[in-house]
Amino acid sequence: MSNPNLIKIIKVLREEYKKYKKPIVTELSYRDDPFLVLISCILSLRTKDKVTEEASLRLFSKAKTPKEILKLNVKEIEKLIYPVGFYKTKARRIKEICKTLIENYNGKVPDKFEELLKLKGVGKKTASITMVYGFKNNDYIPVDVHVHVISNRLGIVNTKNPDKTMEELMKKIPKKYWYELNDLLVVFGQNVCVTVSPFCSRCGIRKYCRRIGVRKSR
């Protein structure tokens, strides 16, 4: 995709972004605390955004630091985060991560991508979101299902999984757009370019969409 088209797409996405509620994981109030970003992202995996938001708020109303969370037992955490996907596994995982943070990192979330990946249950998506939104580090493009799907529909990348999409986007997208790209595409994907049955009729970037182009050529 040429840069002129990319600039036009970004402009439309910025306008669309103003219309809708922002994702809980990257909300402004969370961005000053890498720990809250990290835990919210773990809760969000395989979970709808509204459920993630409500579960995060319930948990953080009781505990906002690794030390505070360790004071809760697993059953308490399960109750607070239910019904996020795999809530029992996530409750144990959150406890394990908090224990590791206290024992190995003085209770702080590590500010290195490679160190974040050492935490049990933390993959590239969670690590990159924590780096970008928790630490304001502009060296990564977080990729979830929305970013993965929309990037492929637009033909910016041709990839099979989010990890590969992140690698390819970082090669093709000018770095000045990296910090905002996840936010823009996630909000757009939640409200317009949804994963299943997107609302193409009200999509402001449909002219650039490979999915529509393929459909028209049939």
Domains of the chain: 3-22+140-217 (1.10.1670.10), 32-134 (1.10.340.30)
130 pLDDT more than 90: yes
Quick: pLDDT tens for 194-216. Answer: 999 999 999 999 999 987 654 55
Contacts of 193-197 with CB under 8 Å at 24 or more apart are 193/146, 193/149, 193/150, 193/153, 195/145, 195/146, 195/149
Quick: pLDDT tens for 18-63. Answer: 999 887 777 756 777 999 999 999 999 989 888 998 999 999 999 9
2 pLDDT more than 60: no
Name 59's Cβ contacts closer than 8 Å, sequence gap at least 6. 39, 43, 69, 77, 80, 81
Taking 3-state DSSP, the helix, strand and coil percentages for the chain, each rounded to the nearest 5, stand at: 65, 0, 35
131 and 116 Cβ atoms separated by less than 8 Å: yes
Helix (H, G, I), strand (E, B) or coil at 149: helix
pTM: 0.89
State residue 218's pLDDT score: 41
124 pLDDT more than 90: yes
| Bond preceding residue 174 cis, omega within 30 of 0 | no
1 pLDDT more than 70: no
163 and 202 Cβ atoms separated by less than 8 Å: no
**What mean pLDDT, rounded, does the chain reach?**
92
